[in-house]
Amino acid sequence: MRVLVVDDSAFMRRAIKQMLQSDPAIEVVGVANNGREGFELAKKLEPDVITLDIEMPEMDGLTALRHIMRECPTQVVMVSSLTTEGSHASLTALRLGAADFLAKDMSQISLSVTNIQEELLTKVRALGAAPKHRLKRGTAFAPVTHAVPTYRPGQFDVICIGSSTGGPPVLETVLPSLPATLTTPVVVAQHMPEIFTRSMAERLNESCQIPVVHAENHMPLAARTIYIAPGGKNIHLHKTGLARWEMLVNDEPKEALYRPSVDALLASAAKATGARTLAVVLTGIGEDGLQGARPLHAIGGTILSQSQETCVVYGMPKAVTQAALIQASLTPEQIAQSLQSLARQAAA
């Protein structure tokens, strides 16, 4: 697997290169200290994956990313500062075609940089193994064999959505398409640090027809609302009375590999809303969601997954699909169409 490292910090270039080269299957084929040089090397070297800093001289990372995705589409991991500005820039990068991002704490970068090694390696390995055709815009995907399910208004008490790598652009396709007449609340668990999930909630609130809020502990689950789980914490649904629920935001289970954990969300939904739960598992690395989907499926909940051809990384959807837990495997547009059916009658 061939990787290009682009960063204006000599320390970060060296650190990222050393972390990547700790895996004998990864070869760092080049390094660049600004976006312009990185773009030129991307065209020349044709790497499998690029790590790309955002703030750089001559050409910043977002500009370089635009050029790369237009002229030599490549899997890109943005290296972002763990700040509000860094979170906004990272979300912009994901919309422009970056596959994922790596957050670094600039205040303690020399102390904590090696702490991101496993996260960096996991993302680079997964993206390097992903089929390159998914990067090409306008690619004609094979038709999805499942029919698009339709539902009736009031059929579900909650819609739970889990996503990871590649998830934010899909969320920006699905959630803004939901009509204002959809009353079913939506809870989203997207793997991200808290400052990034807060920025994502703010942006989605501007583009969605339904209010989008950053979930908090003991916040009631209300109709006509989309809740974004805070990064770094797990979110659980908890029944408080007849047709009443709240969200618990905490560190449980402590052994959860990802936070917010899709497993934790779906397992709690199995107990709180049971068969009246609609779950959607989107693109992402690993199998988060599989263990939570098992009890949800057993109790009669409905589960959809994102189709393989449209995933940046077909890990999480693959796990629930191969376990035969899903009703259908759909493109993001078809998922949106399916969720919209919950509001059609009300709109009429």
How buried is residue 232: exposed, middle or buried, by Cβ count under 10 Å (0-12/13-18/19+)?
middle
Rounded mean pLDDT, 203-212: 97
Interstrand relation of 328-330 and 219-220 (parallel, antiparallel or unpaired): unpaired
Handedness of CA 267, 282, 172, 87 (dihedral sign): positive
Domains 2-135 and 158-347 agree in fold: yes
- Give CATH superfamily name and number for 158-347: Methylesterase CheB, C-terminal domain (3.40.50.180)
**Contact (CB, 8 A) for 269 and 277:** yes
Rounded mean pLDDT, 283-310: 97
Say what the pLDDT of residue 346 is.
44
Look at residue 15 and give its three-state secondary structure.
helix
Rounded mean pLDDT, 94-98: 96
pLDDT in tens, 162-207: 999 999 999 999 999 999 999 999 999 999 999 999 999 999 999 9
Average the pLDDT over each of 62-76, 100-114, 309-323 and give the range with the smallest value.
Answer: 100-114
- Its pTM stands at 0.93
Task: Give the angle 208-211-216 at the CA atoms, nearest 5°.
Answer: 125
For residue 344, is pLDDT > 70? no
Task: Give the angle 317-319-320 at the CA atoms, nearest 5°.
Answer: 70
Q: Which residue has the tokens 């009703």?
A: 327
238-242, long-range: CB < 8 A, 24+ apart? 238/268, 238/272, 239/271, 239/272, 239/273
> What's 234's DSSP letter?
E
3-state secondary structure string across 283-323: CECCCCCHHHHHHHHHCCCEEEEECHHHCCCECHHHHHHHC
**Contact (CB, 8 A) for 162 and 258:** no
- Give CATH superfamily name and number for 2-135: Response regulator (3.40.50.2300)
> What's 327's DSSP letter?
S
Q: Which residue has the tokens 């990272």?
A: 90
Catalytic residues: 164, 191, 288
Rounded mean pLDDT, 53-57: 93
For residue 280, is pLDDT > 60? yes
- Give the type of residue at 332: P
Q: Which helix (H) or strand (E) is 162 found in, with range?
A: strand 158-163
For residue 317, is pLDDT > 60? yes
**Domain map of the chain by residue range?**
2-135, 158-347
**Distance between CA atoms of 37 and 52, rounded to whole angstroms?**
11
**Contact (CB, 8 A) for 34 and 8:** yes
**Contact (CB, 8 A) for 212 and 175:** yes
